[in-house]
Chains A and B, each alone.
Chain A
Amino acid sequence: MAEAYAQTKPPQRTLLSKLADFNWGFLFLICLVATVGFAMLYSVADGNWDPWASRQMWRFGVGVAVLFVVAVIDIRVWMSLAYPAYVLALLLLVAVEVAGEVGMGAQRWLTLGPVNLQPSEIMKVALVLALARYFHSLRIDEVSRPLRLILPLFMIALPVALVVRQPDLGTAMLLLAGGLGLIFLAGINWWYIIGGFAMSIAAIPIGWQFLADYQKSRILTFLNPERDPLGTGYHILQSQIAIGAGGVFGQGFMQGSQSQLNFLPEKQTDFIFTMLAEEFGLAGAAGLVSLYIAILAIGVLTALNARAHFGRLVAMGVCLTLFLYVFINAAMVMGLVPVVGVPMPLVSYGGTSMMTLMFGFGLLMSVHIHRDVDVPRYAGALW
């Protein structure tokens, strides 16, 4: 066996050849989405680059650099780093629990010198890597063995529990859904899926008791926005009014009356999609969603073309994360799901989620560049 791996170990590729293999169309789409974000942040600030658009552009620049660096690093390296990264992220989450900064009523940040670290974001990438590595090492018939499922479920449950405690329901849901999605893609038996659904429905009344009051209120308000039209429901109603008022072609750039007159809450972050929909209408909103779909399509194709199971799962993990971001944010501002603090990726103002995503896109590109690389079942064989 060892010889076989030694034989398939490819020759070291030059940096240039790796860059030549880079999917430049993918990068172009990402830049396009980010540009939409810059335009909206410019509009939010009433036609000013400050305070949001300029800083967002800097971050995106850094993000692109991160993307390239991550992309050219061999996926075997990433695989070997998967568990250490996961353990580190978990420790950081514990640290946040102990010594985190409180923002918006939740402990989310660790302040390390000039950098505000949000460990839950690191965990999004780390969890994908760790699960991908774990399932990479399993045969298909091993995936559905109950004993083999205990570890991945714990890998998901631990960070989810820590993030829920912060409390940050949105991120916890992203972690949970992303992790379970990967288990599904790894080929888990359908009976587990059906059983899991049945159990989670049964668990709803129990879980309800563990929610904070504001989280309960958000869910109740989602189910009936008129319950509290001037409180939590206000945001959703105003958001729908603004989107509806946009019509097919929108009110025009910087002309969105609802957004510009502050009827929208947090319009530079969670509700930026609403603003886009008001100013550029159905055309703009559907256009942005289409860009995301194109990025996702490239990601899915990358996953399908990867030789290594680790690469496939990492690529799909990134796609899953992006999809969950886009869908939950869009559905939230249109009143399809309760209000949860999930940004619109690359468009909403904010550094942490952008870094997470750019890192993820870097991994996706790494999978693409190293699509023909064979990866041993155990990382220990890498070196």
Chain B
Amino acid sequence: MVRDVRDTARQAVFTRRTAMASIGAAGLFGTVFWRLYGLQVEQAEEFGIQAEENRINVRLLVPQRGRILDRFGVELAANRQNFRVLLVPEDARNEGVSNVEEALNLLAEIVELSDYRRRRALREAARNRPFVPITVKENLDWDEFARVNVNLPDLPGIVPDVGQTRFYPEGEHLAHIVGHVGRVTEEEQLGDRDPLLRLPDFRIGKLGVELQFDGRLRGSAGTSHVEVNAGGRVIRELQRTEGEPGDQVVLTIDEDLQRFAAAQFEGESGAAAVLDVRSGDILALVSEPGFDPNLFTFGISQDDWAALRDDELNPMVNKSVSGQYPPGSTFKMVVALAALEAGVMHPREEVFCSGHITLGDRDFHCWRREGHQVMNMRDGIKHSCDVYFYEVARRVGIDRIAAMAERLGFGHATGIQLPGERAGLVPTTGWKYAITGVRWQRGETLIAGIGQGFLLSTPLQLALMTARLGTGNAVNPRLVRATGADVEGVAADGPPAQVSLDIDPAHLALVRDGMNAVVNELGGTATRSAVRGRGMSMAGKTGTAQVRNISREERESGVLENEELPRHLRDHALFVGFGPVTAPKYAVSVIVEHGSSGSRAAGPRAREIMRYALTRDPAAMPAIGNMVRASDEDGRQG
């Protein structure tokens, strides 16, 4: 065969070039293999994890919030079914309407749908993928919900749904104690890493026990691992871990007594506390007026909030532990005990009350301008003679009064588990110098002797003082009996072992006798507040706390009566008492803000509350989580 010789050279070049190209291609295939090896062997684990993260979404299962119960199991905070209407845009289109708006129009024929809700639903539908359910309306009543269910075939894309929402069946009179829940704020999210707080519908405690025990009540989130596709649609559930429902919290409160005590205020602003003097259980802790905690669950409206905020009776303040008032004459027992212990005043030693006492260039007046004449300690308490206690205070000195006040529970927070508890104030010479740089004035001791001046106390502290006076024990108040998943089976913390205050029983007996006389003896300041009935009695002490200074000019021209003053300048009315007199069970304190007179505004209310407490006798009734029945307790003490 004849070959074109010139082709030989051409073929040689071609063969060489083909070999080079093949080597080049082999090199490039080498990079492909090298890359495959890198991805599938060296980085396989890392990419495997990323693939799982792509594939698996973790969804939180919201735990049921623990209930809050009173001592007998009455629900104070519960979970109610929240009937909702959801809309799945994609389903709506599949079921024959062209857009979300049409589906909403059809729904609006069945249930009322405000423009606001409609706009919100449209906005959410536009923002989310079409298979994500959007909440159209919440909190339907049963009739509406039933109507939606009946008409479901004609409502494309509509899904009825039952969620959970917090509900406070007892409403206003427990609002400050139980508190309320609300939406999670950004700051709360920053301070708490619980993933539940990131859920848009989640609610946390904002006030009261709901806030204080939020961690226990909340429970822990469960998780559901679901496989999703790239569009986020759930394909199937792979794994489910149920969360822990929140603990129940059982309060020491007796809802029935609380309701009764709250009702005594009839629109007045004030606070009351009822303690079981043997266990320290707070049976009632009233702050009036209250508010409806249910308003906050779905976010309070502007108008409602403005009304609460601007109310001059301050419904949002828990006056029972956050309100600080001068104790007034209810403090006189403290002064008496301090004097007796210091030995500076014999109980039978008499002091002459002319209506005022002069110290330096200043007159100190008795509430009874014409004077009480001759007073001993018992009479001083019975008549609440100011001049007598000026003299006692002058002799014993502020620091010893302060020490006794501290022992009886003033000047420091009681440790009750409520947010916002205030400590009150018990002044001493050192305290004043440290704060003001001015030395203590003797006149200030006199003022402290009648519970005025710097002294401040909370209504709970007043009830606590009374319980301590009544028992001689260092009673400590408590608000929570038990917490746990199943409170019926949980042993309550037994009543704390009672520690004596180490006050001479004879001194205590003297003071109690004086308090008995206040209520039960002719001429006492609170005789109209006597509790009568089988086995029922009360000893107590009135108090009137001045909220203004009375000038010398006013004294000369005649002190204005409370009735002549604007409300906010009128005196606070106070009363503390324990009963029965001989073997105290309950201690009560009542404050009526600007109620003018302890004996007229506070005493009768305390009487009603004490009478109700003694009649009902909640401390003797078997309570939830109460493994220590009243009878056992008696047995142990006896």
Contact = CB atoms under 8 A, between A and B. Distances in A.
Tell me whether A and B are bound partners.
yes
A316 B55 contact: no
B33 A289 contact: yes
Contacts of A245: 44, 47-48, 50-51
A286 B36 contact: yes
Interface stretch (B6-14, B150-158, B406-414, B584-592): B6-14
A292 B193 CA distance: 54
B566 interface: no
A186 B14 contact: yes
Given A244-B43, A245-B51, A300-B22, A262 B10 contact: no
B558 to A, nearest CB: 83
Nearest to A265: B230
A243 B39 contact: yes
Interface of A: 4, 7-8, 139-140, 181, 184-187, 238, 240-248, 257-258, 261-263, 277, 281-282, 285-286, 289, 293, 296, 300, 303-304, 309, 312-313, 316, 320, 323, 327, 330-331, 334, 336, 374
B305 interface: no
Interface in B36-66: 36-37, 39-41, 43-44, 46-48, 50-52, 54-55
B interface bracket (residues with beta carbon within 8 Å of A): 35 or more
Contact of A248 (B10, B21, B25, B41): B41
B40 A241 contact: no
Interface in B326-384: none
**Is chain A's interface secondary structure helix, strand, loop, or mixed overall?**
helix
B498 interface: no
B198 interface: no
Nearest to B40: A282
B45 to A, nearest CB: 8
Nearest to B31: A336
A323 B32 contact: no
A141 to B, nearest CB: 8
Contact of A184 (B2, B17, B29): B17
B29 A187 contact: no
Contacts of A185: 14, 17-18, 21
A282 B41 contact: yes
Contact of A334 (B1, B39, B55): B39
Contact of B55 (A257, A296, A309): A257
Contacts of A257: 51-52, 54-55, 227
B28 interface: yes
Contacts of B39: 240, 243-244, 277, 334
B10 to A, nearest CB: 4
A196 to B, nearest CB: 15
B26 to A, nearest CB: 8
B237 to A, nearest CB: 15
Contact of B25 (A184, A304, A309, A323): A323
Contacts of A336: 31-32, 35
Given A286-B33, A309-B7, A309-B10, A304 B28 contact: no
Given A245-B51, A247-B48, A277-B36, A289 B29 contact: yes
B569 interface: no
B231 interface: yes
A13 to B, nearest CB: 16
The 5 residue pairs across chains A and B that have the minimum distance between CB atoms: A244-B47, A245-B51, A187-B13, A261-B229, A262-B230
Contacts of B25: 296, 323, 327
Contacts of A330: 32
B15 interface: yes
Given A303-B18, A304-B18, A140 B46 contact: no
A331 B18 contact: no
A241 B230 contact: no
Given A258-B54, A316-B18, A187 B10 contact: yes
A266 to B, nearest CB: 13
A309 B1 CA distance: 16
A184 B21 contact: yes
Contacts of A374: 1
A117 to B, nearest CB: 30
A336 B228 CA distance: 29
Contacts of B126: none
Contacts of A262: 229-231
Contacts of B10: 139-140, 187, 309
B13 A261 contact: no
Contacts of A320: 21
A286 B29 CA distance: 10
A243 B21 contact: no
Contact of B51 (A242, A309, A312, A313): A242
Contacts of A8: 1-2
16 contacts: A185-B21, A238-B230, A241-B54, A243-B39, A244-B39, A244-B48, A257-B227, A261-B228, A262-B229, A262-B231, A277-B39, A304-B15, A313-B14, A327-B32, A330-B32, A334-B32
B617 to A, nearest CB: 67
A246 B14 contact: no
A296 B46 CA distance: 34
Contacts of B565: none
Contacts of A258: 51, 54-55
Contacts of B32: 289, 327, 330-331, 334, 336
Given A257-B55, A262-B229, A334-B36, A187 B47 contact: no
Contacts of A247: 40-41, 44, 48
Contacts of A181: 21
Contacts of A7: 2
B416 interface: no
Interface in B470-484: none
A281 B51 contact: no
Contacts of B7: 309
A241 B50 contact: yes
A261 B1 contact: no
B235 interface: yes
A304 B14 CA distance: 8
A176 B520 CA distance: 115
A285 B11 CA distance: 36
Contacts of B48: 244-245, 247
Given A293-B29, A304-B18, A282 B55 contact: no
A140 B40 contact: no
Given A241-B54, A247-B41, 4 more contacts: A238-B54, A258-B54, A316-B18, A327-B25
Nearest to A243: B39
Contacts of B54: 238, 241, 257-258, 261, 263
Contacts of B52: 257
Interface centre among A139, A243, A303, A316 (most CB of B within 10 A): A243
Nearest to B54: A263
Nearest to B56: A257
A281 B22 contact: no
A244 B46 contact: yes
A197 to B, nearest CB: 14
Contacts of A323: 25, 28
A179 B33 CA distance: 26
A7 B2 CA distance: 9
A374 B28 CA distance: 34
A306 to B, nearest CB: 9
A320 B51 CA distance: 35
A257 B230 CA distance: 10
A277 B36 CA distance: 9
A336 B32 CA distance: 9
- Most central of B21, B37, B52, B228 by chain A CB within 10 Å: B21
A295 B39 CA distance: 25
A243 B33 CA distance: 13
B1 A248 contact: no
Contact of A312 (B2, B14, B33, B43): B14
